[in-house]
Amino acid sequence: MNVNKRDKLKLPKKKKPEVPLSASADIYLPTYHFLRNEFRHARLHEPGIIRDDDNEFLHQYRVSLRRCRALISLMKTLFVPRQQKMLNLTLKTLMQKTNQLRDLDVFLAQIDDYFSVLDHQYHQGLSCFVDTLQHEREATYKAVKRWLKTENYEQQCQQVKGLIKELEASPADPGHRKSKPFAQAILWKHFQHTLSICNTLNNDSPDENIHQLRICCKKLRYLLEYFTPLFPPKKIQAQIHHLKQLQDELGDFNDTSTQLIFFDHYLSNNHPESPSHLAMTQLKEVTRRHHLAAKARALQQLQDFTASNNIDSYTSLYHAKS
C-alpha cells in the first residue's frame, strides 16, 4: 500500500433549500433561500479545488456561481438596483478568477483527441504544446489556490452572502408577487428573446451571434430548472430536454471557437519553423473544419427548438396565463 496516497474528496451533495418554491408564495422568499443554498453549495467545492483531486470540483463551483448570477440578472426586479449591481459585479469577479484554469482543464481533457487527429510526424511538436499547457495549468492552479485562501476572497464571499440576505430582509415591491404568475411572465419574456435570436441566425452569422444564443439558452434553462415545481413535470422536462440538445451543439461550437482563438495566440508567440508551430498549424486546420461542422449542426438543431410544437408548449404554459 502506498502510504502517500490520499483519499480523494467526494463531490458535495446539494441540499434542498429550506423554503421550497410554491405557486402561491411571494417570489422573493424562496428565491432568497435558493440563492443562499446555491452559493453555499458553490463554496463547498473549495476544498476540492484546493486539493486538485478532480476537475469536476472547479466545474461545479462555477456552475453554481453562474446559476446565481444568471437568476440575479434575470430576476433583477426583486432587488434594489444597488444590491443587484454589487451582486452581479462580485459574482463576476469570482468567476473571472477561475476562467483560465477552467479553459486549460478543457484543453488538457482533449489531448488524446488531438493526438488521434494529427499524423504521427506532428506528435513531437504536439507534445511540446502539451508540455506548455501543463506548465501553464500548474501555474494557473497555484494562483487560484492562493486566491481562495486570501482574506480578499473571503471578504467578497461574505459580501455576496450579505447582499443575498438583504433580499429576505427588504425585498423590492415586485418580490411580493405570487411565484407562478411571476414565473410565467419571466419565462415567456426570456423565451421570446431567445426565439428572436434564433430567427436571426444563418450560415453567415458571426461566431459572436451564435455565442450570444448559447448564453441565452443557458439562462433560459436555469429559469426552467428553477421554476420546475410550478408547472406540469412532463411538459417542462420536455422543454428542458429540447433546450439541452441545442445547448450541447452550441457548446461544441463554442469549444472549437475558443480553441481557434487559443491556437492563434499560441502560434503568434512561437517560431514558424518550430515543431510545435507546425503541429499547431495542422491542429488549427482540423479544428477549423470541426468548427464549421459544429456550426452546421447547431443551426440544424435550431429547427427543433423553433418548431411550432415547441413554441406552442411555451405559449400554453407561460403566455396564455400570464
pLDDT single digits (tens) 148-207: 999 999 999 999 999 999 999 989 999 999 999 999 999 999 999 999 999 999 989 999
pLDDT 10s digits, 213-241: 999 999 999 999 999 999 999 999 999 99
Among positive and negative, which fits the CA dihedral 14, 213, 87, 141?
positive
User: What pTM does this model have?
Assistant: 0.92
Percentage of residues in the chain having pLDDT higher than 70: 97
pLDDT at 322: 40
From 91, 94, 109, 104, select the one nearest 141 (Cα to Cα): 104
**Domain locations along the chain:** 26-177, 178-322
Model pLDDT for residues 93-133, shown as the tens digit of each residue: 999 999 999 999 999 999 999 999 999 999 999 999 999 99
CA distance 187 to 167: 21
Residue 321 has pLDDT above 80, yes or no: no
6 pLDDT band, cuts 50/70/90, is low
Same fold, 26-177 and 178-322: yes
- Mean pLDDT, residues 11-15 taken together: 93
φ/ψ (deg, to 5) at 26: -60, 135
User: Which candidate, 65, 44, 70, 138, places its Cα nearest to that of 100?
Assistant: 138
The answer on pLDDT for 71 being more than 60 is yes
- pLDDT average, residue stretch 253-282: 90
Task: Label residue 269 by pLDDT band (50, 70, 90).
Answer: confident
Q: CATH assignment of 26-177, given 1.40.20.10, 3.50.50.60, 3.40.605.10, 2.40.160.40?
A: 1.40.20.10
Give residue-wise pLDDT tens across range 36-67.
999 999 999 999 999 998 999 999 999 999 99
Q: How many CA atoms lie within 13 A of 193 on its CB side?
A: 16
Say which CATH superfamily domain 178-322 falls into. Answer: CHAD domain (1.40.20.10)
